[in-house]
A and B are shown apart, each in its own frame.
Chain A
Amino acid sequence: MTPERRDPVAVAVSLALLRVARVLVPLARRRAWSDEWEAEIRHRWGAAARRGAVPLGEQVDLVRRSSGSFVDAAWLRRQFTTDAESVHDVRDSVRLLARHPRFAVAAIATLALGIGAATTVFSVVDAALLEPLPFREPDRLVRLWERRPADGRERDQVGAATLADWREQARSFSGLAAWISWDFALRDGGEPVAIPAARVSTNLFSVLGVRPALGRDFLAEEEEKGRERVALLAHGLWRSRFGGDPGVIGRTVGLDDESYVVVGVMPEGFTFPEEGPGLWVPLAFLPDELRSRSQRMFSVIGRLAPGAGLPEARAEMSVLASRLAAEHPETNRGWEVEAAPAVEAAREGARGPLLSLLAAVALVLLIACANVSSLLLARGAARRQELSVRSALGASRARLLRSLLTEALVLAAIGGALGVAFAHGGVRAARVLAAGHLPPWNPVEVDGAVLAFALATIAFVSVLSGLAPGLTSTAELGRESVRAGRPGAGGARTARLTHGVVVVETALCIVLLVGAGLLVRSLLRLLEQDPGFRPHGLVSASIFLPDKRYPEDAQQVRFFEELLERVRRLPGVESVGATTTLPMNPVGIDHDMPFGIEGTASLTADPPPEADFRIASDDYFRTMGIPLLAGRPFLPTDDQRGRRVAIISRATAERYLPGQDPVGRTLYWGSSRRNATEIVGVVGEVRHRGLETSPRPEMYLPFRQVSYGSLVVVARASGDAGALGRLLAQQVVALDPALAVSDLSTMEGLVSASLAGRRLVLAILGSFAAFALVLAATGVYGVVSFTTARRTHEFGVRVALGARARDLERLVLRDTIARVAVGIALGIPAALAAARLLRAWLFRVGPADPLTLVAVVGVLASVAVGCSLPPARRATRVDPAVALRGE
């Protein structure tokens, strides 16, 4: 405003009015508002003055109009206030919470833990199941397997010769690539280190659509034997072993006994097939690999050709498989092709457990909401006087509801902010815990999607926990029953809702407790399982003899003979053995061998029966504690000059030679079943692929007769198994410094690792269940305290009429037990339905395991009673005189 001294009276008065009215206008609009008014006033005066002296009537009119600016300013103020009410509500809520810190802390902590847990679980779900795989058009990638449904073999790997036919003939794929995980002893100066690696088709990275960050991709011709001495490094290995030096390209590194030229470095974060490979080398098939169809050991991925879809690819592969079955009946009869989207295959293992955990955390969050709801309800009752006054002064029910919801929103926002902070820690823990259990391609982190989830959760939580108490408190205003009276009480609706909270919490809690209980029972059952050997005190290490260094079978046998002898002489070693693959070990050679036993139908059966085929040293069974049930173990005389011998497991004997003595019978093995072998012994069966699997038919051959360049040495220690491991590795290096030992582990570690995924799910679900129980306990405590407090008057009357403390106590307990019973009745069917989701994780325990149900109900009921006792006791100490005076 630009007041001037020469202003005529009418203008001066008008501007003065304006200056007063201006105060009402919201700050943001004040300047524009007064400019607009002043411009009109001055313009009007100027126009009139130019016509001559301004008549008095016009001057009065100008002042009158200016006084209208008050109406205008007030209108703007009112508009603004309506918008600003929410700001006001927030300020009010914060002030209220600060005045009731115990309530605020309880509610915020509950929500922070609930939202934090939910956000953490979601960040894992997001990384593992929702974010796209970091490959080009990941939806066009397809995993391929061989399968023979006739004997329940789904998703076997692929034989090399079959793979070669696929790559040559399949038209629905623009590229098919294979890989096999491989350990190399990396030598670059110092001691050799075992590096997990992968031999991959040279087109693997172009099929995936990933290019090296440095250097070049493999060339197609590097798949030819003799040209494959090139390597691509993983970013991590490049940083850790080569100091991130770009000059590494072109350098030579020693892998096993060969020299490889580094041609490139893959981008940071890239890993395939899963977490771990430090480097990749071309998969150039060894001649015997390329001839083989029955050694199904290569994993295959393909990219659909432009225009081709999965159904076409499946149809084509199925035709191809029947053709191969006809051409190579001895190895391929009955074998089909299984194809599935690679994305699905990658996520399959994680989906079930993660969705169960997401469901579990949702339940925890619901219980947290129920708790906060009951806290808000109690607060609503305590605020009744304030709300009544506001209502009497004209605040509408919607307006009051909005203030109450704002309170819930403020709680949820503060809790949510803390929860996101928790989630940052939770995510770090999840990365450590879940390593190796999740698809490794996307990092678990609190990113935009996770924050959006947290925000949505906050909104959901504030409505869910605030709406019911808000509606209840406002509905009871102005009712006769609640006219200004005892503070802290509430009407019948409040009472119903608090009881509802107990019912809901009990029901939700049961679902979680039953889930956790079933998993605990399954784990206990599993630990009771006899693995078929004695894991305690066993230590093992994998040794791989490179072909170039040990070209002759005899050399390989001699190496292992010497190594076993050296280890046997070590102090603290009871016995030592070797085999191709240990039970519970994810690494090792493990394949099926067709066989037939003379004089039984198995010899002519088509397709032939198959047994897990393993090589074993003389002392392997004694070392492992696998009982010899008949015949003899392998002996040093079972060598190239001796008669071919085999030992079979009891399961094999019982299935193929029921009621007969297997010792002395002749067994034929191999795809043409020509290798005649005498069965010299029967050993106990082993749960080779995990405690939850049933033993499969097994047959063992002596390591001196069938030589393998890669064996696992296992020793039984009389003392510390861990210390023995280092000694064992030293013996290998002492024999041949070019070798590296990998997978050094204790057998107990392997058994435990085979249960790690299950333990992890149990630990997480268990902590959710424990958290839920604590929430439910505090919830029940809170509700009982609140309801007994509002019944003080009634209790006073009862005492005055002669009721004893014990009667009141029983009264309170009976009420709680009734609500809990309703909760249990509702919760059990829900728990039974939810337990079905866990079916894959249950072991020898039904989803409706009665023991679990009884235990859970017992725990919940006693916790509920335990939590309502203290408030009940307090209620019984009521002094009737005091209680009635409160009227």
Chain B
Amino acid sequence: MNVTYTTALVLEAISSGYHYGFDVMDVTGLPSGTVYPALRRLEDEGLLRSRWEKATLAHDEGRPPRRYYEATGSGERWLEQARARFRLLEAAVPPKLKPARAQG
């Protein structure tokens, strides 16, 4: 697939530990209308996979389970190439210090 900076940035965020759509928006500053189609495309290409958060967790908060994204092996390799191309990619996403759930 086309290596665009936006797509690479979304994947970089996922790979750095931002596993949910809204978290990716937070860290990249990209609008939802950009992030979600990018996620869909990355998943179609097999660079990402997604699963659903545990139902019990969601039930406690009275909402549907969140969709959890993570980079696949080929996603990580693709990202290596993207990093070579976009030098500042890694710097654009601050490393995540704590797991997402710990914040909540």
A71 touches which of B32, B44, B58, B61 (Cβ 8 Å): B32
Does B62 contact A42, Cβ atoms closer than 8 Å?
yes
Does A68 contact B103, Cβ atoms closer than 8 Å?
no
Does A72 contact B32, Cβ atoms closer than 8 Å?
yes
Task: State in angstroms the CA–CA spacing of A40 and B65 once bound together.
Answer: 9
Does A40 contact B20, Cβ atoms closer than 8 Å?
yes
- Please choose the segment from B33-41, B75-83, B89-97 that sits at the chain A interface, where 4 or more of its residues have CB less than 8 A away: B33-41
Does B32 contact A39, Cβ atoms closer than 8 Å?
no
Does B63 contact A43, Cβ atoms closer than 8 Å?
yes
Does B36 contact A47, Cβ atoms closer than 8 Å?
no
Task: State in angstroms the CA–CA spacing of A67 and B44 once bound together.
Answer: 23
B32 touches which of A2, A32, A66 (Cβ 8 Å): A66
Task: State in angstroms the CA–CA spacing of A43 and B104 once bound together.
Answer: 9
A43 touches which of B25, B32, B36, B61 (Cβ 8 Å): B61
A38 touches which of B53, B64, B103 (Cβ 8 Å): B64
Nearest chain A CB to B90 CB, angstrom units: 25
Given contacts A39-B58, A40-B22, A47-B104, contact A71 B66 (CB under 8 A): no
In the complex, which residues of chain B have a beta carbon less than 8 angstroms from the beta carbon of A242?
none
Task: State in angstroms the CA–CA spacing of A4 and B58 once bound together.
Answer: 15
Q: Does A75 have its Cβ within 8 Å of any Cβ on chain B?
A: yes
Interface residues on B, range: 20 to 34
Q: Does B67 have its Cβ within 8 Å of any Cβ on chain A?
A: yes
Given contacts A68-B31, A68-B33, contact A35 B22 (CB under 8 A): no
A36 touches which of B21, B25, B37 (Cβ 8 Å): B21
In the complex, which residues of chain A have a beta carbon less than 8 angstroms from the beta carbon of B63?
2, 38-39, 42-43, 46
Does B64 contact A35, Cβ atoms closer than 8 Å?
yes
Nearest chain B CB to A570 CB, angstrom units: 89
Does A36 contact B66, Cβ atoms closer than 8 Å?
yes
Q: Does A323 have its Cβ within 8 Å of any Cβ on chain B?
A: no
Q: Does A70 have its Cβ within 8 Å of any Cβ on chain B?
A: yes
Task: State in angstroms the CA–CA spacing of A4 and B40 once bound together.
Answer: 29
Nearest chain B CB to A84 CB, angstrom units: 16
Residue of A nearest to B66 (CB): A39
In the complex, which residues of chain A have a beta carbon less than 8 angstroms from the beta carbon of B20?
40, 43
Nearest chain A CB to B10 CB, angstrom units: 13
Q: Please, what's the 1-or-0 string for B9-31, where 1 marks a CB less than 8 Å from any CB in chain A?
A: 00000000000111001000001
Residue of A nearest to B21 (CB): A40
Nearest chain B CB to A78 CB, angstrom units: 9
Task: State in angstroms the CA–CA spacing of A70 and B32 once bound together.
Answer: 9
Does B64 contact A72, Cβ atoms closer than 8 Å?
no
In the complex, which residues of chain B have a beta carbon less than 8 angstroms from the beta carbon of A69?
32, 36
In the complex, which residues of chain B have a beta carbon less than 8 angstroms from the beta carbon of A44?
22
Does B65 contact A39, Cβ atoms closer than 8 Å?
yes
Q: Does A874 have its Cβ within 8 Å of any Cβ on chain B?
A: no
Q: Please, what's the 1-or-0 string for A69-97, where 1 marks a CB less than 8 Å from any CB in chain B?
A: 11110011001000000000000000000
In the complex, which residues of chain B have a beta carbon less than 8 angstroms from the beta carbon of A50?
104
In the complex, which residues of chain B have a beta carbon less than 8 angstroms from the beta carbon of A4?
62
Q: Please, what's the 1-or-0 string for A42-68, where 1 marks a CB less than 8 Å from any CB in chain B?
A: 111011001000000000000011111
Residue of B nearest to A38 (CB): B64
In the complex, which residues of chain B have a beta carbon less than 8 angstroms from the beta carbon of A39?
53, 58, 63-67
Does A65 contact B22, Cβ atoms closer than 8 Å?
yes
Task: State in angstroms the CA–CA spacing of A46 and B63 once bound together.
Answer: 10
Does A43 contact B22, Cβ atoms closer than 8 Å?
yes
**Residue among A38, A44, A72, A79 facing the most chain B CB atoms (10 A cut-off):** A72
In the complex, which residues of chain A have a beta carbon less than 8 angstroms from the beta carbon of B34?
68, 71
Does B62 contact A70, Cβ atoms closer than 8 Å?
no
Given contacts A40-B22, A65-B22, A65-B25, contact A72 B61 (CB under 8 A): no
Q: Which of A635-665 contact B (CB under 8 A)?
A: none
Task: State in angstroms the CA–CA spacing of A749 and B63 once bound together.
Answer: 88
Q: Which of B37-85 contact A (CB under 8 A)?
A: 37, 40, 44, 53, 58, 61-67
Nearest chain B CB to A788 CB, angstrom units: 52
Residue of B nearest to A29 (CB): B40
**Residue among B32, B35, B61 facing the most chain A CB atoms (10 A cut-off):** B32
Does A75 contact B65, Cβ atoms closer than 8 Å?
no
Task: State in angstroms the CA–CA spacing of A65 and B34 once bound together.
Answer: 10
In the complex, which residues of chain A have a beta carbon less than 8 angstroms from the beta carbon of B21?
36, 40
Does A35 contact B65, Cβ atoms closer than 8 Å?
yes
Task: State in angstroms the CA–CA spacing of A69 and B25 once bound together.
Answer: 13
Residue of B nearest to A72 (CB): B36
Task: State in angstroms the CA–CA spacing of A50 and B61 once bound together.
Answer: 11
In the complex, which residues of chain A have a beta carbon less than 8 angstroms from the beta carbon of B67?
32, 35-36, 39
Task: State in angstroms the CA–CA spacing of A36 and B65 once bound together.
Answer: 7
Nearest chain B CB to A596 CB, angstrom units: 87
In the complex, which residues of chain B have a beta carbon less than 8 angstroms from the beta carbon of A72?
32-33, 36-37, 40
Task: State in angstroms the CA–CA spacing of A103 and B66 once bound together.
Answer: 55
Does A46 contact B61, Cβ atoms closer than 8 Å?
yes
Does B62 contact A75, Cβ atoms closer than 8 Å?
no
Task: State in angstroms the CA–CA spacing of A496 and B65 once bound together.
Answer: 63
Nearest chain B CB to A99 CB, angstrom units: 37
Does B40 contact A75, Cβ atoms closer than 8 Å?
yes
A2 touches which of B64, B65, B103 (Cβ 8 Å): B64
Q: Which of A311-339 contact B (CB under 8 A)?
A: none
In the complex, which residues of chain B have a beta carbon less than 8 angstroms from the beta carbon of A36?
21, 64, 66-67
Nearest chain B CB to A428 CB, angstrom units: 49
Does B33 contact A43, Cβ atoms closer than 8 Å?
no
Task: State in angstroms the CA–CA spacing of A1 and B64 once bound together.
Answer: 8
Residue of B nearest to A44 (CB): B22
In the complex, which residues of chain B have a beta carbon less than 8 angstroms from the beta carbon of A46?
61, 63, 104
Q: Which of A264-317 contact B (CB under 8 A)?
A: none
Given contacts A36-B67, A72-B40, contact A65 B32 (CB under 8 A): yes
Nearest chain A CB to B35 CB, angstrom units: 8
Nearest chain B CB to A533 CB, angstrom units: 80
Task: State in angstroms the CA–CA spacing of A38 and B61 once bound together.
Answer: 12
A-B contact list, 23 entries, CB within 8 Å: A4-B62, A36-B64, A38-B63, A38-B64, A39-B58, A40-B66, A42-B61, A43-B61, A43-B66, A46-B61, A46-B63, A50-B104, A64-B32, A65-B32, A66-B32, A68-B31, A68-B32, A68-B33, A71-B33, A72-B33, A75-B37, A75-B40, A79-B40
Give 9 nearest A-B pairs by CB, closest first.
A68-B32, A71-B33, A42-B63, A72-B36, A68-B33, A75-B37, A35-B64, A39-B66, A36-B67
Besides the contacts A46-B63, A75-B37, what 18 more A-B pairs have beta carbons closer than 8 Å?
Answer: A4-B62, A35-B64, A35-B67, A36-B64, A39-B64, A40-B22, A42-B63, A43-B20, A43-B63, A43-B66, A47-B104, A65-B22, A71-B32, A71-B34, A72-B36, A75-B36, A76-B40, A79-B44
